[in-house]
Structure 1
Amino acid sequence: MELQSHRFISSFEPEQALELCRLAVLEHYPNKTVIFEEGEIPDYLYLVLEGQVEFRKRTSFEKYQTIALAKPNDFFGEFGILDGQPRSAQAIVCKEATLAKIPRDLLMEILNNTRGSAVLKLFGYVIEHMRSTTAQYVNQMVHKEKMALVGEMVNTIIHDFKSPVTGIHLASAMVKELHPDEETTEWCDLIQAQVQRMLVMTEELLEFGRGSSTLQKHPVNLSLLLQRFEKLNSVYFKTYHLEFAFEAADVIVNGDENKLMRVFQNLVGNAVEALKNRGGRINIAVWENRKTAEIKICDNGPGIPEEIRDRLFEPFVTHGKQGGSGLGTAIAKSIIDAHGGQISFHSSSEGTTFHIILPILKV
């Protein structure tokens, strides 16, 4: 956005707004750049023009708790500017950002000569910011409590799963040994593969509840991975009369095969939920683009509801799915983030496309 249209600037009289624009220093900050640390003496007010800034408090050694976010048209650092006290939190860029910096001493001089109506308007913005920050912090705490509950629940599930899963695995192995014909062997192998997937899925949910994702990385051929994915889900697709196809080059990434399989399962599973009562098709394409692997997962379903699109990658966000937990896309994003990749989507009434970018492994 343009500096002169920022809501902080627009709260002043035209002459003062022009002076603030002249004094402001525009800077571009790459992702993960620390703008200021907790406890620093305030020297600037910051206006967010592009990107996103995260505010967090240190909870222990190298661990932080997010307390608020600032997006375009927001401003931050005003409390330190007004009372001169040290910064109360760390500010770090979480989406590469363009900020306008206004020096504290020059801003205070302008404020001292500002009409009461402009100050009241600015004061209203500050109160609104405080309310928003409080709401974000409360949501963070609620989310933390929910994830702790998920962790406890999954721990119980894993414990209860072990006995029946072991029984299924042993039974399929015995059937395979007693009936070594090709068809029986293939079905028994499929049973054992699905049982292993169940265990991996519960372990991944436990990791997500803990807020961590441990990767067992090795070279993964995405074409071979999708062949395996199609085989494991062929019965699933036939049951719901869905067409599934993929086209993949031999692109190699350094990744965790089981977790990448989980990403495909979650995103394709959502598409199946949207299509299962109407038929349809799901297509996956994989290609190499210079230093990255590009993946597109497309369906011709009814699209993601407007009311959840902005929060789709947040935990517990779901709409119209029977028994849905709202964790599928959140887990997928956490896995892609852990691989140093990116995930985004486009959705309309004609279908949804997820776009994933992963670093490739040069061999």
Structure 2
Amino acid sequence: MKLESHQFIRYFEPEQAAQISQIAIIKKFNPREIIFEEGDDSDSLFLVLEGEVEVSKRSGEGNNYVVITSVKSNGYLGELGIIDRKPRSARVVTSQQTVLAKIYYESITEILANTKGDIVLQILSFLSQRLRTVTTDYVNQLAYKEKMTLIGEMVNTIIHDFRSPFTGIQLSSSMLKELYPDQESQEWCDLISMQVQRMLNMAEEVLAFSQGDTTLYCQLIDIAKLLQNFAKLNQVYIDFASVELIVSVEEGLIINADENKINRALQNLLSNAVEALDQSEGKIEIRARRKDQLVEITFSDNGPGIPQEIQDKLFEAFVSYGKQGGIGLGTAIVKTIIDAHDGKIFFESSPSTGTTFYLHFPIAKID
């Protein structure tokens, strides 16, 4: 957007707005660039013309930060410095390509000194409203962090308590494989071992999410093999739920990814779909194809669709739909996993057609 169109500038009379436009320094920033640090001198006001920035505060010791809020195009930051001239109270980092207009404190205060009183009052009211919003966001973030801490502690206890019996199950499965060498017994024993390991992986993934850990252990993955194995691991679950599962995959689709995390994302989508379906006629389709330089995986069901009132916040933590007793981390974990792979996820949903999730991953470059 043009500087003259920014909501902050529009409060001023034309002559003063023109002055601000002349003294403002417009600069482009790349993603993850630091605009200013918590504790820096409050020497300027920033107007966001394009893109988005994250406002965060230091949490505890070290370099851990909690994101308080985000500011998009037509927003502003650093406004408190105009009023109290105290050091910056938060850190600001760009989250994408961003264009900012920087206006130094001395310049803006000189213009405000020559501005009509009623206009100054409007500007102060405008700034205080923004402060209330940021305060509310900060309180919400603290509550969110507290919830995630409790979940992390709970899951950590579960992993610790279950690891011993899970190890016993896996050892028993290995012994059964030696006692019964026929193919069917071997396959069942392998399935038991894989399911036990998958349960541990799922718990550890929730723990990692609660701690903000997005570490990946990537390797080249054949999507056809991945989805075939995924369907096999879930066959008993699907049969018990009386749901039809259809898997269709183009050959030769390779991505560089963390297989355990991709399986976890798929499992979350499958579980959500199964629990939302009418078991008598429920159908789930998983398809994978090449789309330009991407691998597209679609995950469709013929369920009742996602309620309109939660569609905009579906990928936020603690948002749940279509099931009883869920804590609402499933789709939030899915998005975190997809984002960590430089991928993209979005969906289409309606009561008449059901829901389709689209997962896009970069195709692996193979030398």
TM category, shorter: 0.7 to 0.9
Deviations 1:117-176 (A, max 9, x none): 222222122111111111111112111111111111112211222243234334444444
Q: Which residue of structure 2 lines up, in the alignment, with residue 333 of structure 1?
A: 335
Compared CA separation, residues 189 and 34, structure 1 to 2 (3 A): same
* 2:288 counterpart letter in structure 1: A
Shift of 1:43: 4.0
Matched, 1:312 2:314: yes
Compared CA separation, residues 228 and 100, structure 1 to 2 (3 A): same
Q: Which residue of structure 1 lines up, in the alignment, with residue 221 of structure 2?
A: 220
Q: Secondary structure at the match of 2:8?
A: helix
Candidates 347, 352, 356, aligned match of 1:353? 356
Q: Which residue of structure 2 lines up, in the alignment, with residue 161 of structure 1?
A: 162
Q: Which residue of structure 2 lines up, in the alignment, with residue 131 of structure 1?
A: 132
Q: Matched residues in 2 for 1:38 and 1:311: separation?
A: 29
Compared CA separation, residues 25 and 240, structure 1 to 2 (3 A): farther
Q: Which residue of structure 2 lines up, in the alignment, with residue 269 of structure 1?
A: 271
Q: Which residue of structure 1 lines up, in the alignment, with residue 283 of structure 2?
A: 280
Shift of 1:75: 1.4
Q: Secondary structure at the match of 2:134?
A: helix
Q: Matched residues in 2 for 1:220 and 1:25: separation?
A: 47
Q: Do 2:223 and 2:249's aligned partners in 1 also have CA atoms closer than 8 Å?
A: no
Q: Do 2:275 and 2:322's aligned partners in 1 also have CA atoms closer than 8 Å?
A: no
1:102-141 map, 5 Å: 102-141=103-142
Aligned residues: 362
Q: Which residue of structure 2 lines up, in the alignment, with residue 149 of structure 1?
A: 150
Q: Which residue of structure 1 lines up, in the alignment, with residue 208 of structure 2?
A: 207
Q: Matched residues in 1 for 2:263 and 2:94: separation?
A: 30
Q: Matched residues in 2 for 1:101 and 1:67: separation?
A: 22
Q: Which residue of structure 1 lines up, in the alignment, with residue 8 of structure 2?
A: 8
* 2:335 counterpart letter in structure 1: K
Q: Do 1:240 and 1:276's aligned partners in 2 also have CA atoms closer than 8 Å?
A: no
Q: Do 1:242 and 1:276's aligned partners in 2 also have CA atoms closer than 8 Å?
A: no
1:220-299 map, 5 Å: 220-238=221-239, 239-277=241-279, 278-287=281-290, 289-290=292-293, 292-299=294-301
Compared CA separation, residues 209 and 356, structure 1 to 2 (3 A): same
Q: Which residue of structure 1 lines up, in the alignment, with residue 191 of structure 2?
A: 190
Q: Do 1:204 and 1:213's aligned partners in 2 also have CA atoms closer than 8 Å?
A: no
Q: Do 1:260 and 1:335's aligned partners in 2 also have CA atoms closer than 8 Å?
A: yes
Q: Matched residues in 1 for 2:163 and 2:77: separation?
A: 51
Q: Matched residues in 2 for 1:189 and 1:63: separation?
A: 42
Q: Which residue of structure 2 lines up, in the alignment, with residue 82 of structure 1?
A: 83
Structure 1: which 5+ residue stretches go unaligned?
none
Compared CA separation, residues 300 and 18, structure 1 to 2 (3 A): farther
Shift of 1:225: 1.0
Q: Matched residues in 2 for 1:13 and 1:282: separation?
A: 59
Q: Secondary structure at the match of 2:237?
A: helix
Q: Matched residues in 1 for 2:44 and 2:135: separation?
A: 23
Matched, 1:31 2:31: yes
Give the TM-score of the pair, scaled to structure 2.
0.87
Q: Secondary structure at the match of 2:298?
A: strand
Q: Secondary structure at the match of 1:315?
A: coil
* 2:292 counterpart letter in structure 1: N
Q: Matched residues in 2 for 1:105 and 1:112: separation?
A: 11
Compared CA separation, residues 220 and 210, structure 1 to 2 (3 A): same
Q: Secondary structure at the match of 1:254?
A: strand
Matched, 1:44 2:47: no
Q: Matched residues in 2 for 1:240 and 1:19: separation?
A: 70
Matched, 1:62 2:94: no
* 1:106 counterpart letter in structure 2: S
Q: Do 1:3 and 1:100's aligned partners in 2 also have CA atoms closer than 8 Å?
A: yes
Shift of 1:322: 0.9
Q: Matched residues in 2 for 1:150 and 1:100: separation?
A: 41
Q: Matched residues in 2 for 1:29 and 1:343: separation?
A: 25
* 2:270 counterpart letter in structure 1: V
Q: Matched residues in 2 for 1:357 and 1:151: separation?
A: 29
Counting aligned pairs with the same residue, the percent is: 51
Q: Matched residues in 1 for 2:41 and 2:76: separation?
A: 18
Compared CA separation, residues 6 and 270, structure 1 to 2 (3 A): farther
Q: Matched residues in 2 for 1:328 and 1:97: separation?
A: 31
Compared CA separation, residues 339 and 281, structure 1 to 2 (3 A): closer
After the TM superposition, which of the residue ranges 18-27 and 274-283 deviates more from structure 2?
18-27
Q: Matched residues in 1 for 2:238 and 2:53: separation?
A: 42
Give the TM-score of the pair, scaled to structure 1.
0.88
